[in-house]
């Protein structure tokens, strides 16, 4: 079998838009959803953690249980039991289960997209793509598991036989973010399961219902109850999983600060723990787009604006800085300012919205603080104002003239704020990129093959996009993951990703036998 990406919906078609709105209406009639703690197939508490609509905080989307350290310990205990049964299944059987879960997500596609609109204020285009990416991860890793089971070819010599195979590590703790509430937890969970591990999934507290839908699909497709647990809750549940000596691998996507805490905690190896924990991490970014003097601005401006403000800049891959050649800086700033000023900030459910609400009030306040700093230290070239009324809305802002020492230029804002910096040449732009602690995505707009080659050679980022936006990595096409403080370099949606969840084992056999024993 071959892999093909799940096609996204064509939102320009009126019947498609109507079907999505019908799905939203059907979902609204069922709110709030109930999300219990799930351990060993048993439903535990289903209260203590509320998920609300960022665009209307009075709307309760889900009422979830709040797992803590005790539930984390119970989930790991169940996972130890489930690991043996699940890992003993051939890879082809595990692959069929994952493909079955993908089919279940397809069946619920409209509902799941609507859930993201409500739970995370994700616009329709982004929400539908998120569901498609989750399906892609399941199908892609299903195929990868079968290939991995075949092992790797080794050099053979006369008189010996060498074989190399991969075995699951055991129990995987998956700690997921809210900004891709279905796709990212699905990717990490599917990879761990495909490789034969048992999984304890701890989703972000803002998106428990989306994670619950994923677990329902996987259990319904045949993942044993003990091999997959769901722990909605706050950070204490995740910290307990990281510290548990029975956990073998931690898969995390989120902020760099939390990622570094996890790396430090996972490095602790008490005497009762006979293994070193593997950490598969994808963390933050301060992603720069370089615009050379010969760039096609008709191409660059819309791509930069969408990369920076799509989903309100709440993507680790979002464009945060533009490093523009001083020869065209005035023109680019003017055009970016015009494009930003007319962005429509509004509710995620409206198809015309360009910039939805940020995830919660804490995020809005953080973005506001960075925006105020940008106004003090430089200037605001354009602002698309948020609508009046409730909701965690942040204006879309274009900042210019900031000193290189500004935190706005060096820290991850994770919101709709884009800063422009003028540079004398490509080398100066590359120097800035190289000075940052992050290395996740980057962009370049240039018509010169030589310029492209120079930036490719110097760029430390995990994913560099040339003459296109910096977001929207596709499974199988653009394996995704960052370097430096942007992650462990693991490439989600790529051919090597499952290697983070397995142990390689080599057997060398002397084939020059001296007789055969008689039994």
Pairwise CA distance, residues 200 & 211, whole Å = 12
Burial (Cβ within 10 Å: 0-12, 13-18, ≥19) of residue 4:
exposed
Pairwise CA distance, residues 236 & 242, whole Å = 10
Pairwise CA distance, residues 289 & 421, whole Å = 10
Catalytic: 316?
A: yes
Query: Strand runs (DSSP E) across 338-395, as ranges?
Result: 379-384
Helix (H) or strand (E) holding 400: strand 396-400
Pairwise CA distance, residues 9 & 128, whole Å = 7
Pairwise CA distance, residues 232 & 229, whole Å = 10
**Which residues are within 8 A (CB) of 361 and not within 5 positions of it... i.e. 6 or more apart?**
57, 392
* Active-site option among 6, 71, 133, 282: 282
Burial (Cβ within 10 Å: 0-12, 13-18, ≥19) of residue 323:
buried
Place of tokens 């930003």: 340
Radius of gyration for the chain, computed over Cα atoms and rounded to the nearest angstrom = 24
Pairwise CA distance, residues 291 & 470, whole Å = 13
* Active-site option among 316, 333, 412, 430: 316
Pairwise CA distance, residues 372 & 383, whole Å = 12
Catalytic: 430?
A: no
Q: Which of 498, 507, 508, 491 is nearest to 169 (CA)?
A: 498
List active site positions. Answer: 282, 316
């Amino acid at each position: 079998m071959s892999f093909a990406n799940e096609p996204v919906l064509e939102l320009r078609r009126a019947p498609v838009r109507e079907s999505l709105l019908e799905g939203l209406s059907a979902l609204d009639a069922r709110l709030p959803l109930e999300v219990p703690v799930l351990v060993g197939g048993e439903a535990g508490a289903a209260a203590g953690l509320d998920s609300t609509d960022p665009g209307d905080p009075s709307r309760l989307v889900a009422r979830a249980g709040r797992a803590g350290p005790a539930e984390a310990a119970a989930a790991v205990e169940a996972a130890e039991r489930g690991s043996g049964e699940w890992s003993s299944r051939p890879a082809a059987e595990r692959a069929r289960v994952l493909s079955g879960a993908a089919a279940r997500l397809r069946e619920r596609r409209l509902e799941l997209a609507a859930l993201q609109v409500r739970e995370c204020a994700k616009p329709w285009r982004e929400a539908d793509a998120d569901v498609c990416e989750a399906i892609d991860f399941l199908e892609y890793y299903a195929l990868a598991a079968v290939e991995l089971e075949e092992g790797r070819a080794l050099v053979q010599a006369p008189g010996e036989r060498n074989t190399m195979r991969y075995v699951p590590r055991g129990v995987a703790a998956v700690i997921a973010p809210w900004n891709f509430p279905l796709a990212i937890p699905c990717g990490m969970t599917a990879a761990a399961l495909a490789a034969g591990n048992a999984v304890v999934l701890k989703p972000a507290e803002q998106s428990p219902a989306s994670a619950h839908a994923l677990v329902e699909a996987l259990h319904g497709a045949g993942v044993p109850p003990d091999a997959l647990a769901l722990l909605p809750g706050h950070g204490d549940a995740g910290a307990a999983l990281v510290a548990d000596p029975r956990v073998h691998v931690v898969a995390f996507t989120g902020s760099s600060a939390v990622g570094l805490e996890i790396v430090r905690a996972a490095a602790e190896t008490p005497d009762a723990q006979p293994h070193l924990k593997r950490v598969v991490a994808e963390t933050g970014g301060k992603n720069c787009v370089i615009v050379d003097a010969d760039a096609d601005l008709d191409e660059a401006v819309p791509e930069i604006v969408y990369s920076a403000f799509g989903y309100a800049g709440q993507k680790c891959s979002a464009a945060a800085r533009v490093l523009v050649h001083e020869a065209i800086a005035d023109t680019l700033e003017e055009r970016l300012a015009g494009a930003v000023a007319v962005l429509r900030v509004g509710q995620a459910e409206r198809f015309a919205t360009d910039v939805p609400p940020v995830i919660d009030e804490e995020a809005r306040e953080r973005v506001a603080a960075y925006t105020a700093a940008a106004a003090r230290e430089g200037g605001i070239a354009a602002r698309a104002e948020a609508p009046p009324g409730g909701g965690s809305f942040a204006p879309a802002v274009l900042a210019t003239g900031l000193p290189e020492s500004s935190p706005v230029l060096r820290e991850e804002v994770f919101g709709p704020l884009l800063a422009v910096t003028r540079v004398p040449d490509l080398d100066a732009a590359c120097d800035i990129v190289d000075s940052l602690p992050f290395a996740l995505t980057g962009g370049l707009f240039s018509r010169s093959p030589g310029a492209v080659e120079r930036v490719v050679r110097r760029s430390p980022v995990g994913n560099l996009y040339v003459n296109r936006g910096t977001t929207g990595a596709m499974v199988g096409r653009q394996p995704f993951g960052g370097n430096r403080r942007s992650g462990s370099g693991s490439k989600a949606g790529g051919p090597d990703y499952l290697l983070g969840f397995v142990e390689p084992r080599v057997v060398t056999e002397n084939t020059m036998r001296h007789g055969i024993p008689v039994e």
